[in-house]
Amino acid sequence: MQKGRLEAFTDGVIAIIITVMVLELKHPETPNLSGLLAVAPDMLGYALSFVFLGIYWNNHHHMMHSVSHVNGTVLWANLHLLFWLSLIPFGTQWMGQQFDQIPVAIYGVLLLLCGVAYRLLAIALIGANGPESPLAKNLGRDFKGKVSILIYVIAVAISWQARYVACALYVVVAMMWLIPDRRFERATEGTRQG
């Protein structure tokens, strides 16, 4: 099965998710610094979520270029990822408007579920392309992916007592992934040479 439609669909869905997020931003009620400070939590949440969506889009792109084909399992795994990503605007808006324990925890749960879904997509792609595929070889044990999921679990657990620390941990994960995953770039180079 060709992977082009899956990539185009994913690109479109992520673009819509980002559009929904930006449309939910409210402008300041007053034209001064205090008005801007009042919407700062919304803006910070939007910026963090935009970075996360950009990371997923970027690494999805690299991962898809490191495989030669997809199957039905991959299509469902990709839809699973897109489902959780599509809930990011909800979590972002709630956390931005009510920076309390439950919204911060729910935001973390959404990030955790996105991370798990991305991991399942990688496993499905390896299943479709084989254990000797460039993706499988370069993904290896996926230490960075597993550490990210662990950090999300810790952040959600401590969000009940330390919301700011939980958000700092969300930022740590984003910083870990800001640079595109070089493992997939190596895999892409391997498929071009092979």
Rounded to whole angstroms, how far apart are CA atoms 11 and 99?
30
Tokens for 155, please give them: 């952040």
DSSP 125-179: HHHHH-TTSHHHHHHTT-HHHHHHHHHHHHHHHHTTT-HHHHHHHHHHHHHHHSS
CB hemisphere CA count around 164 (13 angstroms): 0
Tally of CB atoms within 10 A around 19: 11
CA distances from 178 to 33, 96, 142, 170 (A): 30, 22, 16, 12
Q: Note the pLDDT of residue 125.
A: 95
Q: Note the pLDDT of residue 194.
A: 46
Q: Note the pLDDT of residue 149.
A: 96
Domain count, the chain: 1
Q: Note the pLDDT of residue 25.
A: 86
Q: Note the pLDDT of residue 66.
A: 86
Q: Note the pLDDT of residue 142.
A: 84
Q: Note the pLDDT of residue 46.
A: 94
Rounded to whole angstroms, how far apart are CA atoms 56 and 173?
12
Mean pLDDT per 10-residue section of the chain, whose length is 194 residues:
89 96 88 88 93 94 90 97 97 90 96 97 94 85 91 96 96 88 57 49
The pTM assigned to this predicted structure is 0.88
Q: Note the pLDDT of residue 185.
A: 58
Rounded to whole angstroms, how far apart are CA atoms 46 and 25?
8
Q: Note the pLDDT of residue 181.
A: 61
Residue ranges making up the domain that contains 172? 4-193
